[in-house]
A = this chain, B = another copy of it.
Amino acid sequence: MDLSQELAIGIDIGGTNTKYGLVNHRGEIVEKGDIKTDSFPTIEDFVDGLYKTLQPIMAKVGDGERIRGIGVGAPNGNYYTGTIEYAPNLHWKGIIPLAKLISEKFGLRCSLTNDANAAAVGEMMYGAARGMKDFIMITLGTGVGSGIVANGHVVYGHDGFAGELGHTIIRHGGRKHWSTKLDGSVEAYCSATGIALTAKELLANSTEPSLLRNFEEAKIDSKIVFDCAIQGDALAAEVYRFTGQLLGESLANFVMFSSPEAIILFGGVIKAGNLIMQPTKEHMEKNLLPIFQNKVRLVFSELKEADAAILGASALVWEMRD
């Protein structure tokens, strides 16, 4: 088989949608689509659904011969075992041997990792981290995820679960996380959910006029905060400043751990652009030892959000040993 003709299937499993793509060695997605994750009651139904969707596409590109394998990014995905373990955002519970199920159904090899690690690999192969051996990817979406690359390899830890930076504590005794119940974690503040909570707290604790007061409190989400902030609303801007401060302090801690060349920010929250970048950078630098200051490139992802995890998941396939 001519290598340039080979394709890898990349699959990104989220709580609501599962995206897939057929990717070539140049990182071009030649076919893509999605299915509803939560419309399949059991994992076996899901794998069947995935197969029924992908089989015609695989046939179209050359009846499976060109497909080298399948890579999957999934919440709580474990690279070592190929299992998804106790993922709070998926409706399938317990330990799910997904790589094995997919491999058996498709007759292809399958590798699996968590979604943030997959995005980091995508960024390393095709995005802002091209050529880097040491970087950290932070995904700022509904939650806060992370993928850490050191010495050119994803840090998986002894059990495959390394890189849960969103759950590190940045404020002792701070805001209790709605799901983990930990106090003061990065995710409690710097996720989209956290941003909405900060806005509600600021509104409750002041009488300052704000465009945000035009919205019913229960409806306020990070998108509304963003819309108000770009219209010049001071309170909404303060929400981002505060979020950036906590994110920056967290990043300083991460830098003193693995001294990355760059930190790449990814996910819905980065749509806020400089509203989040400026305070993040300021507070990261302020909390670093001089030896680390003005060295770490803090950048936004260069990949389309929808594509990064598919590309990263597909890249797992090229790493498979023959």
Interface residue A254 (Cβ < 8 Å from any Cβ of B): yes
In the bound complex, CA of A164 to CA of B253 (Å):
9
User: Which one of B157, B161, B259 lies within 8 Å of A150 (CB-CB)?
Assistant: B157
Asked if residues A133 and B161 are in contact (CB atoms below 8 Å), the reply is no
Asked if residues B164 and A289 are in contact (CB atoms below 8 Å), the reply is yes
- B contact residues around A85 at 8 Å (CB): 291
Interface residue A156 (Cβ < 8 Å from any Cβ of B): yes
Measured between C-beta atoms, what is the minimum distance from A160 to chain B in Å?
A: 8
- B contact residues around A134 at 8 Å (CB): 157-158, 162
Asked if residues B172 and A172 are in contact (CB atoms below 8 Å), the reply is yes
User: Which one of B132, B171, B254, B257 lies within 8 Å of A148 (CB-CB)?
Assistant: B257
The A interface is mostly helix, strand or loop, or mixed, namely loop
Asked if residues B287 and A182 are in contact (CB atoms below 8 Å), the reply is yes
Interface residue A258 (Cβ < 8 Å from any Cβ of B): yes
Measured between C-beta atoms, what is the minimum distance from A83 to chain B in Å?
A: 12
Interface residue A180 (Cβ < 8 Å from any Cβ of B): yes
Asked if residues A256 and B150 are in contact (CB atoms below 8 Å), the reply is no
In the bound complex, CA of A124 to CA of B297 (Å):
32
Number of A interface residues in the complex (CB < 8 A): 46
In the bound complex, CA of A171 to CA of B260 (Å):
23
Asked if residues A256 and B165 are in contact (CB atoms below 8 Å), the reply is yes
- Residue of A182, A257, A258, A261 contacting most chain B CB atoms (<10 Å): A257
User: Which one of B76, B249, B292 lies within 8 Å of A161 (CB-CB)?
Assistant: B292
Asked, given contacts A157-B259, A162-B259, A258-B157, whether A172 binds B170 with beta carbons under 8 Å apart, the answer is yes
Measured between C-beta atoms, what is the minimum distance from A179 to chain B in Å?
A: 10
In the bound complex, CA of A157 to CA of B258 (Å):
5
| Chain A 177-223 interface residues, beta-carbon cutoff 8 Å to B | 180, 182
Asked, given contacts A85-B291, A291-B85, whether A259 binds B159 with beta carbons under 8 Å apart, the answer is yes
- B contact residues around A133 at 8 Å (CB): 158
In the bound complex, CA of A135 to CA of B289 (Å):
24
Measured between C-beta atoms, what is the minimum distance from A309 to chain B in Å?
A: 20
- B contact residues around A180 at 8 Å (CB): 289
Asked, given contacts A151-B151, A170-B172, A291-B86, whether A158 binds B259 with beta carbons under 8 Å apart, the answer is yes
Question: A interface vs B, CB < 8 Å?
Answer: 76, 85-86, 132-135, 148, 150-151, 153, 155-165, 167-172, 180, 182, 249, 252-254, 256-261, 287, 289-292, 295
22 chain-A/chain-B pairs, Cβ below 8 angstroms: A132-B158, A133-B158, A134-B158, A134-B162, A135-B158, A148-B257, A150-B151, A155-B259, A158-B259, A158-B261, A159-B259, A161-B292, A162-B258, A163-B259, A164-B257, A164-B259, A168-B252, A168-B256, A169-B252, A170-B172, A180-B289, A257-B258
